[in-house]
A and B are shown apart, each in its own frame.
Chain A
Amino acid sequence: MAQIAVATPRPPLWATSRRLGGQFRRGSTLPILAILAALVVVWFAGAVWLNAPRTIEGFERAELDWTARDLVAATWSMDRPVLPTPAQVFADLWENTVERSVTSRRSLVFHAWVTFSSTVLGFLLGSALGVLIASGMVHVRTLDRSLMPWVIASQAVPILAIAPMIVVVLGNLGLTGVVPKAIISAYLSFFPVTIGMVKGLRSPDPLQLDLMRTYSADRRQTFRMLRWPASVDFLFPSLKVAIALALVGAIVGELPTGAQAGLGARLLTGSYFGQTVQLWSALVMCALLAMVCILLVSLAERLVHAARGGRP
């Protein structure tokens, strides 16, 4: 009777995996599936609508009689449709991921890996640069005033304009392959990290800073033991934006290089040769890769959060 204050143990980390099941029970899975189904239907219908003119043209040239059924069937199975159907895209994806060896030059897994590796390299470079610039701005007043306009100006220039220049300049210096792409990625991804970390490194409240002063901690100690750990909550949201931008940078970097590999190269050849199915499957692969990237950052965030006390 008197046992009121029974301590409830914290749920272990794995318990969070139950959320998926809980989602279904709470009924949020059904609406998600419904929206997905609606999108697929719209996509199929769009394929008919967009592909119909050329199909009809073909029918008429061949002087064939055709019914609506023939038209729909034909628009859904064109070689180079204006808009391929989800089924066609999925089939192409399946063929070029599961059924093809990953070492093949036509495997999308291979191309995704090429893009992923330069994304990660550029992301790491850019994030490190962002943290560096932010700590400089937080600690040196003149840097704070002089650097920020340049940081902002750097992002106002379209990356498509800069990317070829970076590739050409670095190519002349003998740097080709992953490095120019990574630098374009870094150029895009340092920005959100800089902004987030300036805020994060300044987030300790006066009391927390006073405490460091009473211990007569020097700047480095204050940075290591207060500013840096305090900024982690600001770091991860920035990193999520940064890695998505790094992926964009890597793909854009693959366009002007005439690269033989990478999802960007796949997109370029797809559009160059009118291979719309290839174009779309490469696009879907880009989206999947972006999800993987964000997931990896989220996973790291969760682990760090748990190590820091895991406040729910």
Chain B
Amino acid sequence: MDALRSTDPRRTEPPAPSHHGLTDEDVPHPAVAAHDLSLVFQAGDGPVTALADIDLSIARHDFVSLIGPSGCGKTTLLRVIADLAQPTAGTLLVDGGTPEQARRDRAYGYVFQSPALYPWRNVRRNVELPLEIMGLPKSDRQRRAADALKTVGLDGFERKFPWQLSGGMQQRVSIARAMGFEPDLLLMDEPFGALDEITRDNLNLHLHGLWQQSRLTVIFVTHSIPEAVFLSTHIVVMSPRPGRIVEVIDCDLPRERTLAIRETPEFLAIAQRVREGLHAGRSYEGPEAA
């Protein structure tokens, strides 16, 4: 495992320079920096290593996908970054501070696997929820909610209730909710996993546009190779038992992307590398891994 990590040069390099024109001098620290991060939890039949020796640096304005089979700890890693789970060893900095601090500062928006909308609130009031918790005045809340809904293309649906929307629309509401309070970091846990292919393509395109405009940092958990390649600037390939990083693959396609890019040789080459990485991860599976 150590051999594997040291053979991967990308991890030891400084965070990739951002591709856009903004300067990052005033914010030198990366969006997320993990060092030797581990998480072991006690299950009924002994300790289970959910994360082992995670070293990862995510630069601001990057779009990073965590990909891997079920049980590789990608969701756990996201939850640790969000301070929803506690690591048992190692250090983790989010936005230069502890994850708890980042959570208290509301530095990130979290999009769950299911939309997790509150069914008793209409669309507008669902998007307003974090703003209400932050104590914003009503007029401010309404303006921001309206803006956020417009960015996900749901203006006009403010007064609908979640049950009146399709699954894709519900997930867009949850993205609007996560963006309404303008966090710097967006954590997305398989947000489109439960949706059909067509809706998924649509939302991928949409999310790509959003990220392009806003210059958010996005950490995106997914099962899907094409989705990861299409959206990301970097792809973190993970493997299970114990959950660890196999490889970080640069995804240096042009920043402007359309769905057609998925047919290009460059795209397919990166997808192939991801696939190989996933296979390499699997070959490490075995009793010695624990």
Contacts and interface: CB of A to CB of B under 8 A. Distances in A.
B108 interface: yes
A149 interface: no
B103 interface: yes
A207 B163 contact: no
A114 interface: no
Contacts of B162: 309
Nearest to B113: A207
Interface in B90-139: 103-104, 106, 108-110, 112, 114, 116, 118-122, 129-130, 132-134
A63 interface: no
B133 A208 contact: no
A165 interface: no
Most buried by B among A211, A229, A230, A311: A211
A226 B118 contact: yes
A216 B104 contact: yes
B82 interface: yes
Contact of A215 (B112, B116, B133): B133
Given A207-B114, A215-B106, A309 B133 contact: no
B84 interface: yes
Among A208, A216, A232, the one with the most B-chain Cβ atoms within 10 Å of its Cβ is: A216
| Residue from A213, A214, A232, A308 having most chain B Cβ neighbours under 10 A | A214
A232 B161 CA distance: 17
A208 B134 CA distance: 17
Contact of B112 (A207, A232, A309): A207
Contact of A311 (B119, B129, B130): B119
Given A213-B84, A216-B104, A225-B133, A309 B110 contact: no
Contacts of A226: 118
Q: Is the interface of A mostly helix, strand, loop or mixed?
A: helix
Contacts of A211: 110, 112, 116
Contacts of A213: 83-84, 103
A160 interface: no
Interface in A205-232: 207-208, 210-217, 221, 225-226, 229-230, 232
B194 to A, nearest CB: 13
Interface residues of B, number: 26
Nearest to B178: A214
Contacts of B132: 225
B116 A207 contact: yes
Given A225-B129, A309-B122, A311-B161, A214 B116 contact: no
A214 B119 contact: no
A211 B181 CA distance: 14
A308 B106 contact: no
Contacts of A225: 118, 129, 132-133
B116 A216 contact: no
Nearest to B103: A216
A213 B187 CA distance: 14
Contacts of A217: 133
A217 B120 CA distance: 18
Contacts of B116: 207-208, 210-211
Contacts of B84: 210, 213-214
A220 to B, nearest CB: 10
B103 A214 contact: yes
A215 B112 CA distance: 13
Contact of B110 (A214, A229, A308): A214
B133 A229 contact: no
A213 B129 CA distance: 12
7 contacts: A207-B114, A207-B116, A214-B110, A216-B106, A230-B118, A308-B120, A311-B119
Given A215-B130, A216-B106, A309-B119, 9 more contacts: A211-B110, A214-B82, A215-B133, A225-B133, A230-B120, A309-B122, A309-B163, A310-B161, A311-B163
Interface of A: 207-208, 210-217, 221, 225-226, 229-230, 232, 308-311
